[in-house]
Structure 1
Amino acid sequence: MSSSAHASAAPENHDRIDSADGGLWASILRILKLLARPELAKWRVVMALAVLLTLAASVLEVVSPLIMGHAINQVADKGPAGGFGVAALWLTYGLAIRFLAAGLPQMRDWLFAPVSQDAQRVASVDAFGHALGLSLNFHQTRRTGALNRVIERGAGAIDYLIRFLAFNIGPTLIRLVLASIALGVAYDYRLALIAVATVALYVVCTVIITEWRVRQRRKMNEADTHFRATSVDILTNFETVKSFAAEARETGRFDRAMADYNVHYVDTVRSMYVLNTVQALVMNLGLLAVMALSALNVIQDRMQIGDLTAVMLMLLSLYAPLNILGWAWREIKQGAVDLEKLHGLLAMLPEVQDAPDARPLEKPKGRVTFDNVSFNHEGRSVGVQNISFDVPAGRKIAFVGTSGAGKSTLLKLLFRFYDTDEGDVLIDGQDVRALKQSSLRAALGLVPQDVVLFNDTIQANIAYARPGATQEEIRDAARRAQLLDFIESQPEGWNTRVGERGLKLSGGEKQRVGIARVVLADPAILVLDEATSALDSATEAAVQDALEQASTGRTTLMVAHRLSTVISADEIIVLEAGRIIERGNHAALLAKGGKYADMWQRQARSTEAALAVG
């Protein structure tokens, strides 16, 4: 398929989050509720002062031209000799008021800047924390880059809506009302009608064209989200890209995503030129009509030359903020859309939630029971069916079987990443659905097949399990994970940085950091999800020794591909297509001569062949 064909294709919809209902007014109400939050109570005085400064600036914007016009009339009436002193005084007043009219909004923005930032922080933290609280399935079906953009745009929309609605559109309407009254009372009601009609026509044209532009902007944002998410996706998986020599292919995918964004960006920019042209035409026609009528009034002695100047200054002052109305309206509308998307995220409920009367799991002993458990993943025909087993505290159980047999699914049900369709998962005789998820997971320690680390130091990654741990406790955990010698051999020791997702460390080193982290957490139940399957034999032996130490005295659940790692298990459960087909210890299963024995023989032959080749 050609690049152009790709560019015209709609962005993928994996990252869709439905928007909350309501439109612009609902968005305004949401912002008012946000500003009323207790976290922002410290800014109430600043908010009130900002409103007062806005109102004062609007009044001064209208008063200033009247004073300037009066000063010019003094010179015109009394001549340079008699009117200059009075005119100078009035001009000084007028300029001072004009300076205040321009300066007060700057003071308001200076005062309000931390309020806006704090409001964005509160909204972002809410959304970020809520997203982290959503279920595993939510995060598995959405790309991180796209989710991050939803939060960023939603928080940024708060600033747009506050600034443009409260500090641009609002004051402009106030000035329009005051200016219309001043023009009608002081000069000619027809001037007020022309000014109002011009502004009304300007607004109508701006809104119509901007609505068209908003639709284009929405398409551009969708393309932007797809483009950014594609970029993050490629860079995050750069090792896979390199291992498959797919640099050119992924660069092409990046190119197509950016080309799609560029097409929509150009359409959006061109529509802005159309808007600017129409706005300039309406504004200049209005000015022409007002100045022609004012000039006629001067000729007919119904107005003075200073009044003509006052009318012009007033209209220029009124029209100045309208120059950005199209942009402001588009940002307001887009801000409302982005805020709806953010609140759509906040409205999403976790698939797995704590029960209203959920209780903490206190002093767990570590007994694990699955009682006739069945579960199917969404969109998959095979899950687990009628699984029952009981692991007394301190014992070890292993799950083996072919890929997709349901081994890791059992662990996810134990962690309550999913809820069972049928049956019960119990810890110490308590249904996990009746427990607080935080206390449940605090009792579980996971070492996965691929330990993912934060881009921080080794010490920080180990201490992540228990931030309040002492250096001696962290050191002891590293020693028990057989990691201490490696750490002390590094030039920067504990401050050695592990890189993005731990990529500066070898597989075995990452696994041992993961083990040290679990040891430090001191869970009652240790969960090993193919913790050594990605390692070479020598590294596996070292990591296996560390795991044996870590599992001492704890209930241990193991998912294993290499059967050599499960020999010591008190019970081995063999799964196939989500069902238990065999169970027993290593010796009993070998003696039975069934599926487990067949798997054992196959792996033994494979190991012998590898040694022979070596």
Structure 2
Amino acid sequence: MFCSLNETTSGGGMVVWTDKGFTLCFFDTFTTSILFGFILIFGLIQFIFYKRYGFKIEKEYIDASVLYSLQVILTVLLACEPILLYATETTAFGKTKLPGYTIFRFILRTIAWLFSLIILRIERTKTMPTAQTRGHGLTILSFWCIAVLIELFALISYSSPLWFFQPIIRHDSPIEEIHLVRFGYWIFRLLATISVFCIGIRAPGVPRRRYAVMLNRSQSQVEEDISKESVWSKFFRHSSILAPCIWPRGHFKLQLNIFICVLIVLTGRLLSLEIPRYTKLITDELIQSSNGTTDTFLNLGARLRSPETWPWRLVIILMVLRLIQGAGSFNSGILELLRSTLWTKVDQYTTRTLKLRVFTHLHDLSLAWHLKKKTGEIISIVDRGTDSLDSILNYILFNIFPTIADISIAVVYLIITFNIWFGIIVFGTMLLYLSVTIFVTEWRTKFKKQVNKLNNEMKASVVDSLINFETVKYYGAEKYEVEQYRETIEKYQKAEWTNQLSLQLLNFIQAILITVGLTVGSLYCAWLVSVKHELTVGDYVLFGAYVIQLYGPLNFFGTYYRLIQQAFVDMENMLDLLDIKPDVQDSPFAKDLVINNGMIEFDNVCFHYQNERQILKNVSFSILPGQTLAIVGPSGAGKSTIVRLLFRFYDVQSGSIKIDGTDISVVTQNSLRRSIGVVPQDTVLFNKNILYNIRYGRVTATDREVENAARTAEMHDRINTFPEGYKTIVGERGLKLSGGEKQRVAIARTLLKAPAIVLLDEATSALDTHTERQIQSALQTVCDGRTTLIVAHRLSTISHADVIIVLKEGEVVERGSHDELLTKIDGVYASMWKQQSTSYTNADKPTTISDDSADGQVFAPTNQSHHHHH
């Protein structure tokens, strides 16, 4: 017998409360199940994570600790306590036949405490790849806390004579020795669990040094280890970032929505008990009405129509409850519809907040990072990652939590209503099911990661191919691109097939476990009805209805867990993205840049992209306020790098860059970039209308201001020739406009920005000489009265500059005005000028360099090209 006679009802069920306290059978069974179930499920998860992702700490970094030794000793004693108590009662007091719950208690509690000792040992000798260890994990701390609460929970039965409290306190009757023994064991458990918990808070056994130091690993090894960190660890490590996306702080209506949704979930748990109970009542009512007769079904129907035997009220109540809860597993009840409606707003808030957070982070990352990444792959990562957070919240709050709650309630309800064996059958099936599901799903994670990786590559190849559409056409490489795409699809589908195969294996194992559990419970219940006559047919119907209702969500629990795992895998790349730190960051004390004059100073600037090759070597120059300085030199000399450094896309390795005497590294990047206007070599426009693209220079500008800027850039009349004028869509990257038109839009945009400093980075090098000549006047307008830095390849476009510096292999080799540099016949600049001039002359006719042009600048190649065509 599982419980003693005075703790068992006439129907074989367990008595929960009697004589002002819990029965010992219920108390020990319930608390032991909670303690054992918790450490088995969550301890197993932690064990798997440490086994897979953890790394062994070097022994020299594990300090000896008396408190840790005491913690281990107390844990071992707590594991031995159930066995000692059982042995004491069976030997010292001659109780050869103890109730089954005592055996249940000593076996499961011993296993639970021994398992906690394993977790304790793992946390001392291994570490997860995180930045800093911070004491024990949540699982072991929660286990100790539950153990303390269980011992304190016994005080609820303080007034019960069945417990050991009253017999010891009262002196009007002799004290039984067994009560003294049980009281002593309880005192020991209480003090030991409190001690273990308090020591655990301090965590003397967990090394507190940095992860890299404890493992004695190099920085590159540490980065590699962190890349292996589990998704769950990354999720919790990013909780400070994700929390504002989950909880709508400052939005009372959304918070109220969340509160109501939680109430709806709790109400649904109560209904899950009531529906099987009303099914039982209806069944018993119908069975009773036909008791003692062998009438046909038609005669039975006539009886049921009589008011005395027709349970129509119960049927209506049952149907109303089903309508509220939702029939079957389709979640179509009133509660679910209300919950779904309220939660939609919360979902939208979460998605919006997280997407904006990630989008902001992407814009904070350095130019170097963006140049190495594929746009299609980044988009895929962000989309899947942001959507996965919604999925995780929905599955945990409205699927996983209700399922676990239903199972926990079911175990207690079946024990109270029937007997302990029903609870054991359900509880055992649940534990086995969850353990197998977690283990197999963890094993399957690697297949899903591979599928995601190949899916990213597949999408990236499509985007890359379509972006380079013209290049594909130039080389007639359509078949090659299709073949490449076919190969990526085949790799993806092969990985997807393996992933699906592992999924079907898990489904098969889950189906076997559910079927076995349901079969054992049904056979036992049928035996109690037909052979033992301890239960009624209504009880059998109740058990069947309740267990099927319970195993339905439990069957989907594996699906939910897999979906959560999939969502975590989808989120992993996004969390990795959030882990990336920008190469260029504002200092904590950075202030906004205030430009009074606009003087630029480069002082011994050294820079390299890679350690093997130095791009700039001690480069120094100054640009006075309102002055124009041009930088020329052969390809790869570092000209464009200077522009990127001034715009602070990168930080210098040594030296400094100052504007009006202020180092740009101590000002905010936003204020620096607001003060500088750039006309790049290849102007990339947004796939929107011309008005939007020009206004991008200053988003608060009026339509009139935009038109004035376009007019100054000599683009206004051209825009008016388009059918839709300023509303004309420019196409992907501005491909619907010619090169000259795009540059004029960029010039208008810079004019609208009205910066104090202007950078022209090969602004006309991609244009033909005729278009270049037309644009020069617009560029001159941009530069008038502003400090200007020009990077140019065509020397004819910079001959008007106040100062020209020549870069070669990252060093300043010449500087001076155009005329001064031409006097150095063997100089680099003079050689470049001669070479460019000659390339535009007629091969049979010498040419002279003309200085006349529409705007007074020198356009030697342009003028000579005229003779060349003649």
TM-score range, shorter chain: over 0.9
d(CA) in 2 for partners of 1:232 and 1:380? 33
d(CA) in 2 for partners of 1:359 and 1:289? 73
Partner of 1:612 in structure 2?
A: 868
Q: What is the Cα deviation at residue 280 of structure 1?
A: 1.8
Structure 2 contact 271–321 (Cα < 8 Å) conserved: yes
1:2-50 per-residue CA deviation (whole Å, 9 max, x = no partner) reads xxxxxxxxxxxxxx99769564376368255543352655411111111
d(CA) in 2 for partners of 1:271 and 1:492? 57
Q: What is the SS of the residue equivalent to 2:840? A: helix
Paired letter, 1:54: V
2:257 pairs, out of 35, 39, 46, with 46
Rg (Cα) greater in structure: 2
Partner of 1:27 in structure 2?
A: 235
Question: 1:165-314 to 2 correspondence within 5 Å?
Answer: 165-300=396-531, 301-314=533-546
Partner of 1:597 in structure 2?
A: 830
Q: What is the Cα deviation at residue 372 of structure 1?
A: 1.4
Q: Evaluate the alpha carbon distance shift between residue 32 and residue 541 of structure 1 in structure 2; reply closer, same or farther with a 3 A threshold.
A: closer
Structure 2 contact 452–570 (Cα < 8 Å) conserved: no
2:314 pairs, out of 90, 110, 121, with 90
Paired letter, 1:27: F
The reply to whether residue 552 of structure 1 matches residue 784 of structure 2 is yes
Structure 2 contact 248–349 (Cα < 8 Å) conserved: no
Partner of 2:346 in structure 1?
A: 115
Q: What is the Cα deviation at residue 193 of structure 1?
A: 1.6
Q: What is the Cα deviation at residue 401 of structure 1?
A: 0.6
Q: What is the Cα deviation at residue 451 of structure 1?
A: 0.1
The reply to whether residue 99 of structure 1 matches residue 323 of structure 2 is yes
Q: What is the Cα deviation at residue 241 of structure 1?
A: 2.3
Q: Percent identity?
A: 37
Q: How many residues align?
A: 599
Structure 1 contact 370–390 (Cα < 8 Å) conserved: yes
Structure 1 contact 21–340 (Cα < 8 Å) conserved: no
d(CA) in 2 for partners of 1:422 and 1:607? 41
Q: Evaluate the alpha carbon distance shift between residue 319 and residue 32 of structure 1 in structure 2; reply closer, same or farther with a 3 A threshold.
A: farther
Partner of 1:6 in structure 2?
A: none
Partner of 1:485 in structure 2?
A: 717
- Name structure 2 gaps, 5 residues minimum: 1-223, 291-302, 327-332, 843-864
Give me the CA root mean square deviation.
Answer: 2.1
Question: 1:310-325 to 2 correspondence within 5 Å?
Answer: 310-325=542-557
Structure 1 contact 17–344 (Cα < 8 Å) conserved: no
Partner of 1:370 in structure 2?
A: 602
Q: What is the SS of the residue equivalent to 2:598? A: coil
**What TM-score comes out, normalization by structure 2 length?**
0.66
Q: What is the Cα deviation at residue 242 of structure 1?
A: 2.2
Structure 2 contact 605–620 (Cα < 8 Å) conserved: yes
Partner of 1:400 in structure 2?
A: 632
d(CA) in 1 for partners of 2:367 and 2:518? 61
1:260-303 per-residue CA deviation (whole Å, 9 max, x = no partner) reads 11111111122222222222222122222122112111113111
Question: 1:508-527 to 2 correspondence within 5 Å?
Answer: 508-527=740-759
Q: Evaluate the alpha carbon distance shift between residue 139 and residue 449 of structure 1 in structure 2; reply closer, same or farther with a 3 A threshold.
A: same
Q: What is the Cα deviation at residue 377 of structure 1?
A: 1.2
Paired letter, 2:249: P
**What TM-score comes out, normalization by structure 1 length?**
0.93
| The 10-residue stretch of structure 1 (352-361 or 571-580) with the greater mean CA deviation from structure 2 | 352-361
Paired letter, 2:502: S
The reply to whether residue 68 of structure 1 matches residue 299 of structure 2 is no
The reply to whether residue 59 of structure 1 matches residue 290 of structure 2 is no
Q: What is the SS of the residue equivalent to 2:650? A: coil
| The 10-residue stretch of structure 1 (38-47 or 520-529) with the greater mean CA deviation from structure 2 | 38-47
d(CA) in 2 for partners of 1:552 and 1:280? 79
d(CA) in 2 for partners of 1:502 and 1:364? 35
d(CA) in 2 for partners of 1:532 and 1:39? 51
The reply to whether residue 352 of structure 1 matches residue 591 of structure 2 is no
d(CA) in 1 for partners of 2:307 and 2:443? 54
Q: What is the Cα deviation at residue 85 of structure 1?
A: 4.5
Partner of 2:179 in structure 1?
A: none
Structure 1 contact 58–171 (Cα < 8 Å) conserved: yes
Q: What is the Cα deviation at residue 199 of structure 1?
A: 2.1
Partner of 1:502 in structure 2?
A: 734
Q: Evaluate the alpha carbon distance shift between residue 320 and residue 83 of structure 1 in structure 2; reply closer, same or farther with a 3 A threshold.
A: farther
d(CA) in 2 for partners of 1:341 and 1:18? 13
Paired letter, 1:321: P
Higher relative contact order (CA 8 A, sep 6+): 1
d(CA) in 2 for partners of 1:84 and 1:154? 61
d(CA) in 2 for partners of 1:288 and 1:517? 75
- Name structure 1 gaps, 5 residues minimum: 1-15
d(CA) in 1 for partners of 2:760 and 2:360? 28
d(CA) in 1 for partners of 2:596 and 2:230? 47
Paired letter, 1:287: L
d(CA) in 1 for partners of 2:456 and 2:636? 33
